[in-house]
Structure 1
């Protein structure tokens, strides 16, 4: 049986839900092999840390295809395919992506990312998900790697496909990657998001967090409960989109609460953000305020709503502030409330500096991704990125000092390195030639202000040459995520051509 692109048909990964028609339209799209594998990715829940079900399906598919596969201690999955006859001696190629996805649902959408499939639809040449993140980051790249293994019409050297876990949770899988596991000499990272571009460097990063337990007490008589929300924001990727000046709901709500702290306001709970690497779209705080200041407080909320709309006009036009009565029985003290909202208000958000060596590229930034207060337990997580490790470490140190000065103990993870650009690498020159031959255009060479796994993999395999490329994806890490269907076709055509080119001596 033939595929729509003329290549031999091979059974794709079976899923329990494919028989009920979920995402069946993906079966009719080109390139056939890629979209069939991506259907499996959509139909199998795979939030960060919960990739096991998908990994097992990929392993079962590899067994059916007679492909070698193994896992390392972190759960990363490596598949190998021998070279085409006569090409055994050429340097091996590694195709690399990650299994997990960011789990974000639009307001009012109920979706269990540990159980429910991602439902997709086409509109105006783009593939979207209904009310959730799509998982094209990095499901398209990972599916492309499997499609290459699935394509017996290709001439290739020794092939490896590395699928890491928990990439969206600060690159956990790449950090824990087994030493000297890979055999290939070239690595094609398939986790970039702009057609016609090739990336040769990326930012490193680190997270700064704090946790504290604050005493709760019954609210005094004469206090009124209020639930305050900041919502309607676009959200986005805390690296790729940080330069746009998008509103961060945690920062906007903290600014309002800090302004209201003088009213005697007390925090009962707070819920803002789900991922450190996503710009927070909505945040909610339940507070108790003196009843005789309630009218003043609601008036200030409405004033700030107008202010935020003015400040974010043309950037985040949907920004909305809301308030409604709430039942509040217990809350933390006004002094602790002041500490929390004060430190949140003082912490920087957004671009901290632009690169001098790569004009137009953000060098250093910070994002306030997660804030929680529940039953007196306070948690805050920040995500720092930089092209320069020293600048990353300096901003991390400043954030830690600020937390200490406000009475919170900073927790700093070990961070991960950036990927140092090598514009003279032979692999880049080969890719530029292949890209121009395949598409008629020379790709733009870029450095990205986001964490790619290349830096970590390169640290374990310093002899390896690597580049990163992919199709056009917009709105990654938000429910607006979408992928350009035509760009996927072009991306896969370039990938196939590159694999065949690397099979030549």
Structure 2
């Protein structure tokens, strides 16, 4: 792990180094939450855990600032666990191995957890500071944001008294976010039937080397989806020689663009299969020459005695995969350059008698999201699958008259002699869910520059963290009176 002690602002980076040292992937953030509560006790700060496990820490106003409104600072505790195919990192037990590369901090072939670890570190640094001007502070640290927004869904009314909330989960310094997309998970279960294989050769076909990324922030970049590319490969191959499908597995998270996928097939001619795969690799590399320079489509013979899918099951699966919407469905007609609706065909897993497919659908407009839900459901129902839509979370509707947004805009101009960009993000933020329990709370989202979250390429710009910290602390100083 890199030594971050020389980075500024020092308190923030010290907290981030500790955060990286304690494993905290989604669904497994209890060790970090426990450490935070123990630290708060040592600092003699009032804290509590709510019924779902969120951490709330309260700090009195600094001397002379008692008249200011209470501000809620918010971050999520968990991180996305993604690693390269050659990494042996165990997210449940291993610390994040950080690397300083010029003005960027990254990790050794894993996600870094700057999303949302930097924001969380900034909240703790505010709590620890004795030289900042601020009114009363409430820090809300939610659990399981990345895998289901469990903490935000379970947040109860009445726990917070603040009138303004600053979400720290945005990923571009110089941008102020006032809205975000909502989303829903499409859980698809396709029954399959099997039979003994007749073709003599078993082989694996693998799509790898893709860049992946955040299925909201990066969906418009035209990156390859390993699941879609592998389904396309199978469709093309079976048009040239008989193949029998044994299994198909790809992706690991619904909100990460899948970087790799693998199918096991049986065929009659391994040499011909390898030639056909090489041709398809050249085709895909030509199409994705800019977005996926390291794309690799490979084939290798293996020993495999599993039964294969029947012809009917194989065709139903491959054709449904080909027909499933993926990527950007529509760009916003109201906000230039912002994705309105998208889907991510994130995870495919094969069992003995069924195949599961998991898609994440996002949209700024509920009716457009519903239309995409129905299109995906219709496709898979025609194939004989059952579909359950779960985890629906609302978008955060923009409020151009937001006082806290106007305040952040003013503070940014005063400190950086530049105009910030007022934005709506296609990724899901928790603010929309907070509005259910706290409908009158005024909210805004800011953060440092983080590139390629939800992938092993994730990195945070060190200089942007300093600017973000300046903005955050100056905002707290400028919070209006009660």
Shorter-chain TM-score: what band? over 0.9
Structure 1 residues 146-199: Cα deviation after superposition (integer angstroms, max 9, x where no partner) = 100111111211111111111111322211222332211000000001111100
Contact 1:268 1:375 in 2 (8 A): no
Query: For the residues of structure 2 that align with 1:99 and 1:91, how far apart are their CA atoms?
Result: 25
Who is 1:230 aligned against?
207
Query: For the residues of structure 2 that align with 1:348 and 1:93, how far apart are their CA atoms?
Result: 41
After TM superposition, the score normalised by the length of structure 1 is 0.92
Tell me whether 1:360 sits opposite 2:315 in the alignment. no
Q: Which of 398, 402, 414 pairs up with 1:437? A: 414
Query: For the residues of structure 2 that align with 1:270 and 1:353, how far apart are their CA atoms?
Result: 29
Structure 2: 5+ residue runs without aligned partners?
A: none
Query: For the residues of structure 2 that align with 1:215 and 1:346, how far apart are their CA atoms?
Result: 21
Structure 1: 5+ residue runs without aligned partners?
A: 1-21
State the Cα RMSD in Å. 1.5
The 3-state SS of whatever aligns with 1:321 is strand
Who is 2:349 aligned against?
372
Tell me whether 1:313 sits opposite 2:289 in the alignment. yes
Alpha-carbon deviation of 1:61? 0.2
Who is 2:404 aligned against?
427
Contact 2:67 2:481 in 1 (8 A): no
Q: Which of 472, 479, 482 pairs up with 1:495? A: 472
Who is 1:338 aligned against?
315
Contact 1:219 1:328 in 2 (8 A): no
Who is 1:127 aligned against?
105
**Aligned pairs, number:** 480
Q: How does 1:78-117 map to 2 (within 5 A)?
A: 78-117=56-95
Who is 2:128 aligned against?
150
Q: Which of 382, 406, 410 pairs up with 1:405? A: 382
Q: How does 1:135-214 map to 2 (within 5 A)?
A: 135-214=113-192
Q: How does 1:6-17 map to 2 (within 5 A)?
A: none
Q: How does 1:185-334 map to 2 (within 5 A)?
A: 185-220=163-198, 222-262=199-239, 263-289=241-267, 291=268, 293-330=269-306, 331-334=308-311
Who is 1:479 aligned against?
456
Contact 1:157 1:503 in 2 (8 A): no
The 3-state SS of whatever aligns with 1:255 is helix
The 3-state SS of whatever aligns with 1:364 is strand
Structure 1 residues 84-143: Cα deviation after superposition (integer angstroms, max 9, x where no partner) = 244334321011110111111112111110000001011121001011000000000011
Query: For the residues of structure 2 that align with 1:261 and 1:61, how far apart are their CA atoms?
Result: 59
Tell me whether 1:395 sits opposite 2:372 in the alignment. yes
Query: For the residues of structure 1 that align with 2:196 and 2:150, how far apart are their CA atoms?
Result: 41
Alpha-carbon deviation of 1:73? 1.9
After TM superposition, the score normalised by the length of structure 2 is 0.97
Structure 1 residues 16-59: Cα deviation after superposition (integer angstroms, max 9, x where no partner) = xxxxxx44x11222111111111111011111000000000000
Tell me whether 1:53 sits opposite 2:26 in the alignment. no
Q: Where do 4+ consecutive residues of structure 1 move more than 4 Å?
A: none
Alpha-carbon deviation of 1:213? 4.7
Query: For the residues of structure 2 that align with 1:251 and 1:196, how far apart are their CA atoms?
Result: 35
Who is 2:393 aligned against?
416
